[in-house]
Structure 1
Amino acid sequence: MTTPSAPPYPVHWEADIVLRDGGIAHVRPITPHDAQRLVSFYEKVSDESKYYRFFAPYPRLSDRDVHRFTHHDYNDRVGLAATIGGEFIATVRYDRTEGSQAEVAFLVQDAHQGRGVASALMEHIAAVARERGIRRFIAEVLPANRKMIKVFTDVGYTQERSFTDGVVRLEFDLEPTDASVAVMRAREQRAEARSVKRLLAPRSVAVIGAGRRPGGVGRTLLHNLTAAGFTGAVYAVNRSFPEKQAVLDGVPAHRSLAAIVEPVDLAVIAVPPENVPAAVAECGEHGVRTLLVITSDYAESGPEGRERQRELVRQARSYGMRVVGPNAFGILNTAPEVRLNASLSPELPAAGRLGLFTQSGAIGIALLTGLHRRGAGLSSFVSAGNRADVSGNDILQYWHDDPATDAALMYLETIGNPRKFTRLARRTAAVKPVVVVKGARHSGAVPPGHTVPPTRIPDSTVSALFRQAGIIRVGTVTELIDVGLLLSSQPLPIGGRVAILGNSESLGLLAYDACLTAGLDPVAPLDLTTSATPTDFRTALTGALDDRACDAVVVTAIPRVGSESLPGPESGDDPALAAALCDAVGEAAGGSAAKPVAVVHLALDRMAGRLGTTGSRIPAYPAAERAVRALAEAVAYTRWRRDAAKPGKVPEFDDVEHAAAAAEVTRLLHGAPGRVVTLEEPAAAALLARYGIAVRQSLPAPDAGAALEAAGRLGYPVALKTTAPHLRHRADLGGVRLDIADEDDLKRAYEELTARLGKPGELQLVVQAMARRGVDTVVRATVDPAAGAVLSFGLAGAPSELLGDIAHRLVPVTDRDATELVRSIRGAPLLFGWRGSEPVDTGALEELLLRVSLLVDDLPEVVAVGLEPVVVAQRGLTVLGATVRLAQPPARTDLGPRALSSF
């Protein structure tokens, strides 16, 4: 007799989650080793909650209960627990009743009710159930247990509700719906935003590692906190302090956190790496909410440091704490009620409307300095270092509805979760601009310390996907500031018509040329002459703002004749001119005349500071090209927001055979080596036909006789072409013969190809009926593990490949996306009648793009589709070649339960 072995522990069900109040909990399967934890947890649950769970008084768990609730097969019976500090705070379990149906029940410790624990556990147990083939949950709840009823009814799944024998019975399907995904993402946004708010608006801060010797990192951080006028309590912590409470820089100094009687919201850790674990444990025991780890020598230092970093995050999360860093520069919050400078920056910037996130301390310093010089302020700043936990995604969640932030600026070197980042950026960009500069753009340039999933997407594709999400991508840190200043201080332009005025004809012409280069529509510059007074500027600017024929104004300024701004000891300033410009803009603000204004100045370096610190906050630039580039980005962003309000729809096609296609994919993958298979024609054509995509039939021609027979079946004229993989994309080798009119032409073409390129078996020759002439295009779809499915379109041929003239959109593609995709390549005029040619059927092309998008979105096992060439004629199109690759799809984390990224 053998004892059945214990089922394997499903480690992939473990996850860290952010709760409604911003705290952290760990979700994991319950094991037999959790018996004592379960008993201790149950003892802390109120009698009322126990009654609601078991429908009767149930003061304690019997040994049989404990065994049943801790022993699972992880298939028909599953239990999950939410833990903090290793202790249970909530449990959920399901028991399969029959087939694909199971009963589900929750129990949440009373002290943690209202934190969204049950809602988060619901998402995770539903994902587990779907993985194990369960498609429907049943829950029975007492009518008085309104909180639990709300958990079930608010989840967004399709459900039925009934009332029998004094019990509310809820039944719901577990397949994600638009409503359930929307509910999950809304909860995610609120929770992650609150976790960041806890970080940026603490009521108390402790600096661990603040030494008595001036100049150290900890002492510097302490000084910066107090010098900024932080409105909360500040504590210094260092083992070298005396037992009795001391004072350092005017704040209480203690040997340990335990000696601090009051709660601590944020702990800034600046101790050697070997002392960090003890400091984190002390923070956890004291109930600290968030950690800012300045200490370096983690993942950026190599494999050992990477493991220290993983352990740091694991330890912090086990106590319910989030982490900024390690190797972080710090965080800032300029709100008057906070005034937080927990960073290595010696000064707290002025309050402003810009939010700033950076993954580099050096870039953070450069950005803070650049903004200060131009008189701009910040709302908040996070320099996340190795961003082992808190990332740019979290900050976007916070900025989305932060009333103090009008524009978000981000310096990114890597994107840990591109799919989530583009989703969050799109949502944020719908209400406020998101401007990004991406460092380390080329493969192999990932900075030390950044652990990110692999991606095959080239940087040009990333730019296209950013544009689709409404992200304003710029090339340099300087442009990041230029664009951010304009977007945070000026109204959005309703169009691209630009008025130019100033006291320098040459500078006005430079601005005019820059507008044309940027695709804007400038009006002929108005030259006020070098003797123009501030009053002249004000009058001209007021007139331009009142003029309905323009949408934005560029003011150019050089030192005026007779002013003190001409070269001399007081050069570089013209306070009267700055005041006049601000007055004109201030009068127009909030009314129908409100338009964006940018000032271009030469030899007036102090103007930027004056214009940036006044109430009107006009952005100023030392070069016309920089001002116009920022304005052009604002125009493009306005256009995107206008289009985003009408995003289009994903159409449905009556002739799509989804079920048959899914069954065919399953059959083709079954037994395939490595569960990966590349379909050549005709298998690819058969699958594509299920989605209404017709591929022109081709017949093999292993010898000349077979070629003649194939041509006889298809009918002349025909094409003879090679299909060998090493020749497929080598049009320069001449592996295709077109318009073959008869048998003699076909014999001659066959002999020429085999004589020039190789034996028939090597060339894999085929015969295909000729298609109507048109424009040759290429349609592709690929699935990247990090970014998801991407649809690409371009013209066929080497020039498009060499020039990178290929457009991309994330799947699923809407009808509007398809229209834009066709028109966004530089070669698009060839499709619309360039130089007198007949326009081709772009409507048929757009429908093909939509069908390919639908195929890839419906069938996640389809990881690559290539249609080449697609000949688009005046009426209709013909797909002449097709390949499809099938594989087990990467996990769709964006549709799974909420969870923080793993480490």
Structure 2
Amino acid sequence: MADVVPAGGHPGPATATGSVGAPYPAGWEADVVLTDGSTTRLRPIRPDDADALQAFHVAQSERSTYLRFFASLERLPDRDLERLVTVDHVTRVALVAVSGSPEAGTPERILGVARYDLVEPETAEVAFNISDAHQGKGLGSVLLEHLAAAARERGVRRFVAEVLPQNGRMLAVFKDAGYAVRQRTEDGVVQVGFDIDPTDRSLAVAADREHRAEARSMRALLWARSVVVVGPGTADAAEASLPARQAARVLAGLVPEVRSGRLTVHTVGVGDGAGLDDTGVHHHLRIDDVPGPVELAVVALPATHVLDAARRLGALGVRGLVLLSGGFAEAGPEGLARQRLLLGVAHGAGMRVVGPSSFGLLATHDGTTLDASLVDRPPRAGRLGLFCQSAPLAVTLLAAVERRGLGLAQLVSAGHRADVSGNDLMQFWGEDDDTDVVALYLESIGNPRKFSRVARRLAAHKPVVVLTAGRSGHVVPPGHAVRPTRAPRRTLEEVLRQSGVVRVENVHQMLDVVQVLAHQPLPAGRRTAVLASSTGVAALVAEAAAAAGLVMTGRVELLAEDASPAQVQAAVERVYTDPEVDVVVVVRIPTLGVEDAVLPGEVARAAARTGRTTVTCMYDLHGITAQLTADDPQGRARTVPAYAAPEDAALALGHAARYAAWRAADRGVPVHPDGVDTRAAGRLVAGLLAASGATDGAPLALDPTQTAELLTAAGIHVWPSVRVHDADEAVAAADRLGWPVAVKTTVPALRHRADLGGVRLDVADEVELRADVAGILALAGDHDPGEDVPPLEVQAMAPHGVACVVRSVEDPLFGPVISLGVAGDASDLLGDVAYGVPPLTDVDVADLVRTPRAAPRLFGYRGLPALDVAALEDLVARVSVLADALPDVRSLELNPVVVSPQGLAVLGAYASVAPADRADAARRLARP
């Protein structure tokens, strides 16, 4: 894939030094995953890259050089070389993809270059050049994504390029990026142009490329068939250090597959000596002695030795490094610096890192079990994908999986997840035919917006069960690089709800839900029948089912403890042939404690035959059992999961029913209200920030005129108001605006408090207005409205309706958070506010408007006319799009928004802006 350049083969004029225009933008540095699953680093070009760029150029083929420069050049002339590496990071920008890590002693090598030169306001000419050895790995697409993101930060909105017709690869990169590309041929050169503002299609293309790349990188780890285990070299296992014991345990887990010939395993520093042992394991004294390539490395070394090992493992072609050792970010600043160096070495060599402090990974594929973990005995193979972070929790999870008889397809323990995270594994599980159900225990979520996007894609066709450490998601364990958050604690709940995942409260519930999702078909509905051994038990089950969100149909079958086989069969038949039943709860606990020999088989066969989702609580049965297993009409084994208590069974079934309903429902399309001009809004915000000269990151509060201009760009009209000092000015304002008017104080504590007298409505004439002004001024006398703020505000009266509050806040962790509530003390005091995290679909917006408990007031409450909910949904959609597109809008409040039977009126608006850097930028592997 050769690049394209402006006519004449060279970029525009260079600045004198790389520092002219803007400082070196370290925020553009990134570690990214390519479509072959390997990693590389992206960063802005520097003047000291001249030698590396020349070496890159010399190594290119004659064809690539011709397509790049429209001529053959064996070497870049010194003048051109200096121009190419000297940029101002504003009007001239260049990014390079590199391998190696100089800070860790590995020289960098340039793999690709992307650059733009501003040719007119908001338009830049672009050029790309990818090394011959890295073509076909998606590097051109990655560089285009990152260059476009950098360009948008600098106010560029359009790319143009000149491409030779035979440069089909580059033309395909532009066309396949999802932008609306226009091209024409002139003088034998293809002229290409396209806007670089994100579109639904360009975002989908980028997400799909990211999905395939990250899935493939995980596949390289989980399907590895050659492994090297690196330990500290302690000879006496009884006296060994923890790393030595860890390495020995991993090796023991790999040996069975080595004996069968399905794995090739090498060790360094594990046991004594070198050579081939009687199990088939190859032992070596040094990493450099291991014959490559090797796909996976498991490292258990003191933290200070890991960096050198990683550098040597990279030379073996290792694709994944499972790091069992601790002593990194959780150990303080020195450990964090060590972790950064490690990731630089690993990503520079194309490796993903699982850990530090990982329990390891387990995976079964094509009859081969890769046990690169610390587990003493792995669970049996199955179809559950399991992800956790901490190593101790992995022990608990695996023991619970084993007790319940659940089969495991994969387990990955990410430890402190310096690199590999739950998002990566969900990308893999989206493509994996060996996995039916996914469960994740998350101690922290470092990128909630990406989590929501990836989980939503996966949950559309596979259940995803999630347990978080703490309900708020604000827990940050030592060693986890997580941004601080100011978002309300309910924000995480909304992220998970939008994602379609099943959220549970503890490990017990997680596996309860997994049991039914993995071994039963999804519920067709919530209509529930109960088969129980007594009326008391039936009542208990019915109560538990209703609490779990299920709907009781009245179908309750009772089975006496001494029921005959014929009576059991007849009762089961009546339940499963009832057309009004979707799901079944079976509870039979004999008082004599004798196992039922008939009911389990009858229930299993009926459930498998009819497809009715079934859960049970039976004496002496727990988890996945043979007694409750039968084949469905397609020959697939279906097991009715058994639970310890009826409440557990009903709760798990309720979760399954809610997930099935979410999966079957229309999830909508992204909202794009007409008349939202994010470019104009972006220019306004950039201009305001530049004019303010603020460098401390403190939010800049916009005045009413600036706020109205910002909202106008989003198609939101704020009703004009006039701020005044006294009654004379108030009367003059009312004459201009038109009677009747509303008059209110600008004192924040009283601004929206009609109940306290801070707001007077329907003021019809001058006499009434002067009296109201006197009353408000007297009321607000002890309050300060703020420096240089007139104490009163006059506004034309809006139609009567229900007052709402719409807010958007840019959070460092969650990004934009939208909220909606019906205005008033009750909503504020009771927290009756709905939250959403953009981007939102039309269904998300509709749900957001209907979620507050006070929402019925919008729909004709107690005989009042229904209000214009569609107008409110349109307003929320506009705020959502604005907040999603402009992270520099730190906060926005529309208060009050009066919704009437025909339309709405935004009567107050308050906004602040500040530079922001979102966690979910394309730089998804940027080092902490």
TM over 0.5: yes
CA 1:517–1:128: 2 relative to 1, 3 Å = closer
C-alpha distance in structure 2 between counterparts of 1:733 and 1:97, whole Å: 57
SS in 1 for 2:492: helix
Instruction: Tell me the C-alpha RMSD between the 2 structures.
Output: 3.5
Residue 20 (structure 1) aligns with? 35
Given that residues 373 and 609 in structure 1 are in contact (C-alpha distance below 8 angstroms), is that contact kept between their aligned partners in structure 2?
Answer: no
Residue 473 (structure 1) aligns with? 503
Gaps of 5+ in 1: none
Residue among 79, 91, 95 paired with 2:112 = 91
Residue type of the alignment partner of 1:25: T
Identity %: 43
> Alpha-carbon deviation of 1:457?
1.4
Q: Deviation per CA, 1:227-272, whole angstroms, max 9, x where unpaired?
A: 5778311222108733x42638762222122222242211111111
C-alpha distance in structure 2 between counterparts of 1:49 and 1:367, whole Å: 53
SS in 2 for 1:498: strand
Residue type of the alignment partner of 1:826: R
Alignment of 1:873-892 (within 5 A): 873-888=900-915, 890-891=916-917
> Alpha-carbon deviation of 1:200?
0.9
C-alpha distance in structure 2 between counterparts of 1:400 and 1:692, whole Å: 38
Residue 143 (structure 2) aligns with? 121
Residue 139 (structure 1) aligns with? 162
> Alpha-carbon deviation of 1:743?
6.7
Q: Does 1:672 align with 2:689?
A: no
Q: Does 1:557 align with 2:584?
A: no
Residue 594 (structure 1) aligns with? 611
C-alpha distance in structure 1 between counterparts of 2:349 and 2:459, whole Å: 34
C-alpha distance in structure 2 between counterparts of 1:456 and 1:404, whole Å: 40
> Alpha-carbon deviation of 1:520?
2.3
Alignment of 1:51-70 (within 5 A): 51-54=66-69, 58-60=73-75, 66-67=81-82, 69-70=84-85
C-alpha distance in structure 2 between counterparts of 1:694 and 1:105, whole Å: 42
> Alpha-carbon deviation of 1:774?
3.6
Residue 304 (structure 2) aligns with? 274
Given that residues 528 and 585 in structure 2 are in contact (C-alpha distance below 8 angstroms), is that contact kept between their aligned partners in structure 1?
Answer: yes
SS in 1 for 2:662: helix
CA 1:191–1:6: 2 relative to 1, 3 Å = closer
Q: Deviation per CA, 1:153-178, whole angstroms, max 9, x where unpaired?
A: 43333334445666555444444443
CA 1:716–1:156: 2 relative to 1, 3 Å = closer
Residue type of the alignment partner of 2:660: T
Q: Deviation per CA, 1:430-461, whole angstroms, max 9, x where unpaired?
A: 11122211214458631111111222212212
Given that residues 574 and 607 in structure 1 are in contact (C-alpha distance below 8 angstroms), is that contact kept between their aligned partners in structure 2?
Answer: no
Given that residues 163 and 171 in structure 2 are in contact (C-alpha distance below 8 angstroms), is that contact kept between their aligned partners in structure 1?
Answer: no
Residue type of the alignment partner of 2:145: E
Given that residues 257 and 263 in structure 2 are in contact (C-alpha distance below 8 angstroms), is that contact kept between their aligned partners in structure 1?
Answer: no
CA 1:480–1:798: 2 relative to 1, 3 Å = farther
SS in 1 for 2:397: helix
CA 1:861–1:89: 2 relative to 1, 3 Å = closer
CA 1:61–1:580: 2 relative to 1, 3 Å = same
Residue among 370, 394, 413 paired with 1:383 = 413
> Alpha-carbon deviation of 1:801?
2.6
Gaps of 5+ in 2: 1-14, 101-106, 239-244, 631-636
Residue among 594, 616, 621 paired with 2:643 = 621
Given that residues 538 and 583 in structure 1 are in contact (C-alpha distance below 8 angstroms), is that contact kept between their aligned partners in structure 2?
Answer: no
Residue type of the alignment partner of 1:494: A
C-alpha distance in structure 1 between counterparts of 2:458 and 2:779, whole Å: 58
C-alpha distance in structure 1 between counterparts of 2:804 and 2:629, whole Å: 53
Residue 850 (structure 1) aligns with? 877
Larger mean CA deviation between 336-345 and 732-741 belongs to 732-741
Q: Does 1:499 align with 2:526?
A: no
Larger mean CA deviation between 14-23 and 57-66 belongs to 57-66
Q: Does 1:284 align with 2:305?
A: no
Alignment of 1:491-640 (within 5 A): 491-524=521-554, 525-532=556-563, 536-559=567-590, 566-567=592-593, 573-574=595-596, 576-586=598-608, 588=609, 593-601=610-618, 603-606=619-622, 608-610=624-626, 615-640=637-662
Given that residues 46 and 85 in structure 2 are in contact (C-alpha distance below 8 angstroms), is that contact kept between their aligned partners in structure 1?
Answer: yes
Alignment of 1:704-743 (within 5 A): 706=729, 719-728=742-751, 735-737=758-760
C-alpha distance in structure 2 between counterparts of 1:284 and 1:16, whole Å: 16
> Alpha-carbon deviation of 1:196?
0.6
Residue 48 (structure 2) aligns with? 33
Residue type of the alignment partner of 2:852: I
SS in 1 for 2:315: helix
Q: Does 1:823 align with 2:838?
A: no
> Alpha-carbon deviation of 1:326?
0.3
CA 1:400–1:696: 2 relative to 1, 3 Å = same
> Alpha-carbon deviation of 1:367?
2.1
CA 1:628–1:443: 2 relative to 1, 3 Å = closer
> Alpha-carbon deviation of 1:189?
0.9
Residue 653 (structure 1) aligns with? 674
Residue among 790, 804, 826 paired with 1:777 = 804
Given that residues 248 and 270 in structure 2 are in contact (C-alpha distance below 8 angstroms), is that contact kept between their aligned partners in structure 1?
Answer: no
Residue 248 (structure 2) aligns with? 219
CA 1:837–1:897: 2 relative to 1, 3 Å = closer
C-alpha distance in structure 2 between counterparts of 1:383 and 1:556, whole Å: 36
> Alpha-carbon deviation of 1:58?
4.7
C-alpha distance in structure 2 between counterparts of 1:98 and 1:324, whole Å: 44
C-alpha distance in structure 1 between counterparts of 2:728 and 2:116, whole Å: 66
C-alpha distance in structure 2 between counterparts of 1:828 and 1:815, whole Å: 17
Given that residues 810 and 816 in structure 2 are in contact (C-alpha distance below 8 angstroms), is that contact kept between their aligned partners in structure 1?
Answer: yes
Larger mean CA deviation between 121-130 and 707-716 belongs to 707-716
Residue 900 (structure 1) aligns with? 925
> Alpha-carbon deviation of 1:97?
8.0
Residue type of the alignment partner of 1:151: V
CA 1:755–1:10: 2 relative to 1, 3 Å = closer
SS in 2 for 1:523: strand
Given that residues 497 and 552 in structure 1 are in contact (C-alpha distance below 8 angstroms), is that contact kept between their aligned partners in structure 2?
Answer: yes
Residue type of the alignment partner of 1:849: V
Larger mean CA deviation between 714-723 and 170-179 belongs to 714-723
C-alpha distance in structure 2 between counterparts of 1:705 and 1:760, whole Å: 22
> Alpha-carbon deviation of 1:719?
4.9
> Alpha-carbon deviation of 1:17?
1.7
SS in 2 for 1:616: strand
Residue 439 (structure 1) aligns with? 469
C-alpha distance in structure 1 between counterparts of 2:316 and 2:683, whole Å: 56
Larger mean CA deviation between 785-794 and 72-81 belongs to 72-81
Given that residues 236 and 251 in structure 1 are in contact (C-alpha distance below 8 angstroms), is that contact kept between their aligned partners in structure 2?
Answer: yes
CA 1:535–1:410: 2 relative to 1, 3 Å = farther
CA 1:814–1:54: 2 relative to 1, 3 Å = closer
C-alpha distance in structure 2 between counterparts of 1:43 and 1:867, whole Å: 59
CA 1:58–1:557: 2 relative to 1, 3 Å = same
Residue 12 (structure 2) aligns with? none
CA 1:129–1:49: 2 relative to 1, 3 Å = same
Residue type of the alignment partner of 1:470: G
Q: Deviation per CA, 1:319-355, whole angstroms, max 9, x where unpaired?
A: 2211000011111113353301211211222222221
Residue type of the alignment partner of 2:925: L
Given that residues 669 and 886 in structure 1 are in contact (C-alpha distance below 8 angstroms), is that contact kept between their aligned partners in structure 2?
Answer: yes
Residue 328 (structure 2) aligns with? 298
> Alpha-carbon deviation of 1:685?
4.5
Given that residues 375 and 395 in structure 2 are in contact (C-alpha distance below 8 angstroms), is that contact kept between their aligned partners in structure 1?
Answer: yes
> Alpha-carbon deviation of 1:748?
6.1
Residue 318 (structure 1) aligns with? 348
SS in 2 for 1:426: helix
Residue type of the alignment partner of 2:247: G
> Alpha-carbon deviation of 1:195?
0.6
> Alpha-carbon deviation of 1:22?
0.5
C-alpha distance in structure 2 between counterparts of 1:686 and 1:133, whole Å: 19
